[in-house]
Chain A
Amino acid sequence: MTPEVLQAEKVPATAPQAGAFQTGLKAMLPPVLTIAAFFLIWELACRLFRIPAFILPTPSSSVAALMQFAPAVAEHALQTLTTTLLGFALAVVLGLALGALVGLNRTAYQALYPLLIGFNAVPKAALVPVLVIWFGVGAVPAILTAFLISFFPVVVNVATGLATVEPEPRDVLRALGATPWEVFTKVSLPRSLPYFFASLKVAVTLAFVGSIISELAASNKGIGVMMNQAASTFQVPLVFGGVLLVSAMGVLLYAVFAVVEARMTGWAYRSQNS
């Protein structure tokens, strides 16, 4: 018999090697141009319409303000990054555990899902004062807010991934005498990884939101605190500098997890293309 050779897939369907860098650059071009255009229009609009700096500073003056206070800014940024990542890590660990429980067990799903929805519907900003009462002003409320806000997408995605595993591969393994643990590690877990990694991208940016919310409300360190202080002294360029900095950190971490996702679960996307 003749093996059906699929002509269309002679092009690198497995790991692309040569030219990957160039195609990567090409893919980078549109977003980089869009961002550049955004800042250019912002800058030009401010100058053209002579918008006062205390209403809308130019991006260049915002960056200049960051530079001016670089050592302090760096300290605040590091604080925000730390609380964000700690909260995010907590969200990943607990989200994975709860997501696995909910995704694998129908009863747990039915029992816990309404509670989770209700919990997620609470505006996290409303919880910050409570957290401050419990834990005092500082890093802990920021970590917990970051955790609370980024926890839900991880749970939902992991649970969805596990709950939607097709029965056939599981049946094949069970019929072969596989233990439930083997079925989990060989089928359910790899099958739900794309969902998990997709949730990480969302969760890490949300974690930043959580940290900043908490810092704005009550903290003594972090970008949120810096923005509050700058705003109270009408250093509006520094406020916007803080916004830019948080945004940049968010994009950076998003990119990190996008790369991790592509590395770990490329098969899920390639299989759709072929």
Chain B
Amino acid sequence: MTFDASVVRRDFPVLQRVINGKPLVYLDSANTSQKPDSVITAIDHFLRNSYGPINRSAYLLASEATDAYEGARSKVRKFINAPQAHEIVFTKNATEALNLIARSWGSTNLGAGDSIVLTHMEHHANIVPWQMLAAEKGFEIRWIPLTSDGQLDLSDLNTLLDGAKAISFTAMSNVLGTITPVEQIVSAAHRAGAIAIVDACQSVPHMPTDVQAWDADFVAFSSHKMCGPSGIGVLWGRESLLDAMPPFLGGGNMIADVKLEGFKCAELPAKFEAGTPPIVEAVGLGAAVDYLTSLGMESVRAHEVEITAYAMRSLKDRYGERITIHGPTSPACRGATLSIALEGVHPHDVSQILDQENICVRAGHHCAKPLMRILGVTATARASFYLYNTESDADILTDTLVGAFDLFGM
């Protein structure tokens, strides 16, 4: 079956909305994605028929809810080709997953005299947890810089990794769309004796993921960017590392036994899932994984390369030098996230003008202020395409930007 975004689009109820007689042009999927009917229905069906506590009771509802929750874990395992389901930990979001790694693995393995490596294109979620920990523990943070076309500059990678205990980096920039060479970086990290942590928030929703091919040690991503509900994120980690780590949050579900003198941790993955987890959200995530699998991630990626090429070409053909698209120029080495700058027009004003045509883009720093400073801007307007965006969406974007130049052109 060939992939047709105009058909896929019909699966998304909110994209059928018409506002002031015009269609909704949703170009903010790098921020959060819309949800297909199948995810909405799965959540609705679960809440109406099978909702109950997990892992706690003998009655039928509890058993159905536990099966649904654990079923979602198995689906996620398969989706990213993780070796074992109990290596999948459900968190609140990807930010919590990264904080879990920093607080649990980081606080036991990093101290004064140690160092870790991050990159200049990280999201705040992969910077601030490490800075918070570094302030307590006194380890050094080293940075991989960028090339002029928004790729990671890996020329000094081995020097930066020398003596480092970990590297944590994005698989795809949420600002520039840059796809990073994950396998190359992981392999360099392992040669240097460092573990490799991959922030896969922007890549998992858009291309096939194989954590074993990556050979990574930890991978974090969120449900809400991949057609699933908000409120649940995923941490995958190697069993040997997760087993050796102390728990992150304490409470119910994460214990094997509690006495007045102390507690004993539960086995994986419960050890890292304290309290009632996001049960409903897990069911929604499982349905999102089914949906993406039915479309085929290879097809999703191929569509995005195509729509990215089309949008970049349309914008450049129409506006030439008056428009800058930050990041890699070749659609083959980037995702469908276009951070654009219009000569003489502030990103905020761009997004205001686009809103007149129901075009949803993000204007701001995209939670990547260090990168913004390196680009020499305080903000960008970011149009991000996904599996439901068509050439027509790109055309409406290109056409509407005329209004911004008309109003602000100097």
Chain A bound to chain B: no
Interface residues of B (CB under 8 A from A): none
List residues of A whose CB falls within 8 A of some B CB. Answer: none
